[in-house]
Amino acid sequence: MKTRAAVVPSGGVLARLAALLPVGRVLTGPAQLAAYSSDGLTAFQATPLAVVVPESQEEVIAVVRFCHAEKLPFVARGSGTSLSGGSLPFAGGIVLALNRLNRILRMDPALRVAVVEPGTINLAVTVAAQPFGLHYAPDPSSQSICTIGGNVAFNAGGAHCLKYGMTSNHVLGIKAVLASGEIVEFGGVSRETIGPDWTGLFVGNEGLFGVALEITLQLLPRAEVFHTVLAGYRTLEQAGDAVAAVVASGLLPGAIEIMDALALQAAAAAVHADYPPGCEAVLIVELEGPREVVAVDRRRLDELLAGSGPVEVRPARDAAERLAIWKGRKSAFSAVGRLSPDFIVQDGVVPRRRLGEALRKINAWSAEMGIRCANVFHAGDGNLHPLILYDGREPGALVRAEELAAKILRMCVEMGGSITGEHGVGVEKRDYLPAMFSPDEIACMHRVHAAFDPEGIANPGKMFPSAEAPALTHPGLHPLEKAGVISRE
């Protein structure tokens, strides 16, 4: 079953669209459109017809209903931090830039909920909740700039997802305008609901269902104490084995992260992070919770790390040192830009027990293909984030980088994992969907999609390999295109 192809608009649509909003909030200038032509996956680009900047829910609803009536493709976008091309525009369609819908509409410490608009910055929720001793748990590396609407669309995770789960575990309710123009309200302020879990279905839809207008978030009490440890290892495999030992012990840290030598080099250059010399990898483990519990778990963690053969173990002595450790980790993606003009961030998942094997394969392929690859990942849940470095000015460089990315994704599926842990499928991984799901399963996904978006206008060309692809600027062929398996037509 195929999703109905979106229709590129005819003349006159811009004038009718501009009449819906005040002057200056429908952008059509070349420079303005260029700023929205790609997201965090800069290898793909497309020029929209216009960028619409609503400032209220009513304006968003009016624009979506207009798009439905005109069969005009649209993509909702926040800060554009998607690393899978999830907020790439459709050529000839429009971009709904939601950054001005950034209000926290309600903060209820008693119920431990916050109701926010989609353009609200992730970190802003925790900042607003801190005076009440609360915080919002999902913490992607881009949490200082990414928006809750984007987190919801792609079910974002973060360093602490091992203990606290993904965005879907913290969204209680959603008010949205579907691509059909219908206004819906799913869930509420409590987990005690009856009937289908529409909220859970909406989270992770990658913008294919419509636009979230209000999101009700579960807040959690801030941990009483933290114990953060940075351990350096001579090999990446040793760090991976240490992760397996910690998890097998029954401890449940708030976070377990690994960075390899190339990522350490980038972080040190970018934010002056200090790491043990002579290490090929560092492991970051953070315990959190009641003081008495952390005190007991800390002794067990210290024993496990001491027995894992580290070069050096550095516990954070105070809050400043803890923040410095996390600053280095959270800067890793952007810091790699100091080592290479271009890079692809992959997002596959492997079972934890096969983490060491996966890392050995990635390193072997990297050496064999002559492509540098920095490894940064949520080790606790096996979510790999290999950063594949290349120079887009070099002919064929992107194609070779994508060939390595393809090897990694196929490996993840063969090991019983997934093609994505938190970045989503987007444009980048849509042609690998059949590697994970049967034709019947994909057909079922299409039917669910069509129920929310019968015209196929919401973020078309994403997720599904059979969907109509946007007009893209992409130097070179995708590896599966070269093999004749898929086509961008």
Q: How far apart are CA 64 and CA 66, in angstroms?
A: 5
**Which of 130-139, 349-358, 392-401, 471-480 shows the highest mean pLDDT?**
130-139
Whether residue 407 is predicted with pLDDT greater than 90 in this model: the reply is: yes
Mean pLDDT, residues 124-147: 96
* 264 shares its domain with 318: yes
Q: Per residue in 99-128, is it b (16+ CB within 10 Å) or e — as a string?
A: bebbebeebeeeebbbbbbbbbbbbbbbeb
Residue in the structure block whose two tokens are 């519990």 = 293
* 214 shares its domain with 272: no
* 149 shares its domain with 201: yes
Residue 449, pLDDT score: 96
Question: Does 176 fall in a domain?
Answer: yes
State which of 198, 221, 244 marks the end of a domain.
221
Confidence of residue 268 (pLDDT cuts 50, 70, 90): confident
Question: Does 275 fall in a domain?
Answer: yes
Would you say the pTM of this structure is higher than 0.85?
Answer: yes
Q: How far apart are CA 87 and CA 82, in angstroms?
A: 6
Q: Are 286 and 316 in contact (CB under 8 A)?
A: no
Q: Are 175 and 148 in contact (CB under 8 A)?
A: no
Question: Does 44 fall in a domain?
Answer: no
Question: Does 277 fall in a domain?
Answer: yes
Q: For 80, left (φ over 0), alpha (ψ -120 to 50), or beta?
A: left
Question: Does 450 fall in a domain?
Answer: no
* 204 shares its domain with 303: no
* 209 shares its domain with 310: no
% of the chain with per-residue pLDDT over 70: 93
In 3D space, the residue among 350, 338, 399, 348 whose CA is nearest the CA of residue 371 turns out to be: 399
Domain with 288 in it: 225-335
Mean pLDDT, residues 303-313: 95
State which of 162, 193, 221 marks the end of a domain.
221
Residue 361, pLDDT score: 92
Q: How far apart are CA 144 and CA 369, in angstroms?
A: 35
**DSSP tag of 139:** -
Q: Which residues contact 208 (CB under 8 A, 6 or more apart)?
A: 179, 449, 452, 453, 458, 459, 462, 463
Residue 466, pLDDT score: 54
CATH of the domain at 112: 3.30.465.10
CA 263 remoteness from chain centre: 19
Lowest mean pLDDT among 75-89, 334-348, 410-424: 334-348
DSSP one-letter string for 387-423: EEEE-TTSTTHHHHHHHHHHHHHHHHHHTT-BS-SSS
Q: Is the dihedral of CA 43, 48, 53, 58 positive or negative?
A: negative
Lowest mean pLDDT among 57-61, 70-74, 237-241, 434-438: 237-241
Confidence of residue 194 (pLDDT cuts 50, 70, 90): confident
Residue 10, pLDDT score: 52
C-alpha atoms less than 13 angstroms from C-alpha of 115 in its C-beta half-sphere: 14
Mean pLDDT, residues 441-445: 95
* 282 shares its domain with 257: yes
Q: What angle do CA 35, 37, 40 make, to 5 degrees?
A: 85
Question: Does 164 fall in a domain?
Answer: yes
Residue 440, pLDDT score: 95
* 198 shares its domain with 231: no
Q: Which two tokens stand for residue 55?
A: 């400032």
Residue 475, pLDDT score: 36
% of the chain with per-residue pLDDT over 90: 73
Residue 474, pLDDT score: 39
Q: Which two tokens stand for residue 217?
A: 């978030």
* 191 shares its domain with 248: no
Whether residue 316 is predicted with pLDDT greater than 70 in this model: the reply is: yes
Q: What total number of domains does the chain contain?
A: 2
CATH of the domain at 289: 3.30.70.2190
Residue 359, pLDDT score: 86
Question: Does 39 fall in a domain?
Answer: no
Mean pLDDT, residues 446-455: 95
Confidence of residue 472 (pLDDT cuts 50, 70, 90): very low
Question: Does 341 fall in a domain?
Answer: no
State which of 221, 253, 282 marks the end of a domain.
221
Q: For 23, left (φ over 0), alpha (ψ -120 to 50), or beta?
A: beta
Residue 439, pLDDT score: 92
Confidence of residue 471 (pLDDT cuts 50, 70, 90): very low
Backbone angles phi, psi at 254, to 5 degrees: -65, -30
* 157 shares its domain with 199: yes
* 209 shares its domain with 231: no
Residue 467, pLDDT score: 47
Confidence of residue 469 (pLDDT cuts 50, 70, 90): very low
Q: How far apart are CA 410 and CA 408, in angstroms?
A: 6
* 326 shares its domain with 229: yes
* 122 shares its domain with 231: no
Lowest mean pLDDT among 35-49, 219-233, 455-469: 455-469
Which uninterrupted H or E stretch holds 333? helix 332-335
